[in-house]
Amino acid sequence: MNVDCFIEARKSKGLSQSELAENICTQTTLSRFENNGQVPNLKTLIKLCTRLDFPIGDLFPKVGLKNTEVVKKMDKIEFYFITSEYEEAQNLLESLKITSEDENSDITLRYLYLKGFLMFFRKEELTDILFTFDQILLNETTTEKKMYQLLAYTGIGMTYARENDFEKSEFYFSKVIGQIYDCPTNSIEDMWRVLNMVFHAGVYYAETNEIEISNALLEYAITICSENHVTYYLARAAFQLALNSVVEKKDIPETLELLYDARAYAKVNGNQVLLKKIKALEIELKEV
């Protein structure tokens, strides 16, 4: 309880303890509150604060307020992942002030996951990216923290794939695919993360030319969205399916249908980055 602010408010009013306590409580009661932190009953406390024009809420610590602001920013960063707006996400990440004393906290693990993915998207050094994800993996694994462990595996797999070290990337993506079905999804943010992992696994297997596996994962992502009535990653999954269709040399109308689905979803999510890619591929296909 912030008693010091209360005392400052009393002194700024030019009131002694006796003057403030008059007809409310004894001076001894007020003294015990100011000097020893012994809180009087709530009615008395409210009357004292009212006389001082001091909001009673200012006595109490702002529990969770800072974290609430941090969480809101993290939600925004995670949505930027969906729309591929990585520079905006990076700027927002840099504005975060993570001061949690508990290294195992959800806030810290989420920060490391976001940081690691952004380092990958910004093409930073492999060792720096791996170090960031390793900090997640060094935490004790619990059911609640399982999601972050799998996200770290995904990020590491993506990073090794970028370096064309497919033996190592396959090792990590296999872990993700093998365990993702047991991962609890208790919030919309959890769904974002599951879709993130499934989508990037789909992209990975497309890059390794295992199109059948890629298509299955991307269609699974679309099923998750359909069953939960959300559009997150729908556009990007449909676009990757269109790219896979090109690799498979399917009929152009079939590929364009996937592309048009991707465009519709991208418009819903306001994904301007993807809309440009869709337009470019559409032009390319129609020129064939």
Sign of CA dihedral 222, 123, 157, 182: negative
Query: What's the pLDDT at 16?
Result: 94
Give pLDDT, residue 70.
Answer: 86
pLDDT in tens, 159-196: 999 999 999 999 999 999 888 877 767 788 888 899 99
- pLDDT score for 102: 45
Region label for 280, one of left (φ > 0), alpha (ψ between -120 and 50) or beta (otherwise): alpha
Q: Tens of pLDDT along the chain (288 residues)?
A: 678 889 999 999 999 999 999 999 999 999 999 998 888 887 898 899 999 998 877 776 544 444 678 888 999 999 999 889 999 999 999 998 776 544 547 888 999 999 999 999 999 999 999 999 999 999 876 766 889 999 999 999 999 999 999 999 999 999 998 888 777 677 888 888 999 999 999 999 999 999 999 999 999 999 988 888 888 899 999 999 999 999 999 999 999 999 999 999 999 988 999 999 999 999 999 887
Per-residue three-class SS string for the chain: CCHHHHHHHHHHCCCCHHHHHCCCCCHHHHHHHHHHCCCCCHHHHHHHHHHHCCCHHHHCCCCCHHHHHHHHHHHHHHHHHHHCCHHHHHHHHHCCCCCCCCCCCHHHHHHHHHHHHHHHHCCCCHHHHHHHHHHHHCCCCCCCCHHHHHHHHHHHHHHHHHCCCHHHHHHHHHHHHHHHHHCCCCCHHHHHHHHHHHHHHHHHHHHCCCHHHHHHHHHHHHHHHHHHCCCCCHHHHHHHHHHHHHHCCCCHHHHHHHHHHHHHHHHHHCCHHHHHHHHHHHHHHHCC
Q: What is the pLDDT of residue 86?
A: 93
Place of tokens 């980055």: 273
d(CA 159, CA 215): 21
Q: What is each CA distance from 59 to 1, 51, 53, 55, in whole angstroms?
A: 5, 15, 13, 8
Give the homologous superfamily in CATH for domain 3-59.
lambda repressor-like DNA-binding domains (1.10.260.40)
Q: What is the C-alpha to C-alpha distance for residues 12 and 195, in angstroms, rounded to an integer?
A: 56
Hey, where are the domains in the chain?
3-59, 115-286
Predicted TM-score of the model (pTM): 0.73
Q: Which fold has domain 115-286?
A: 1.25.40
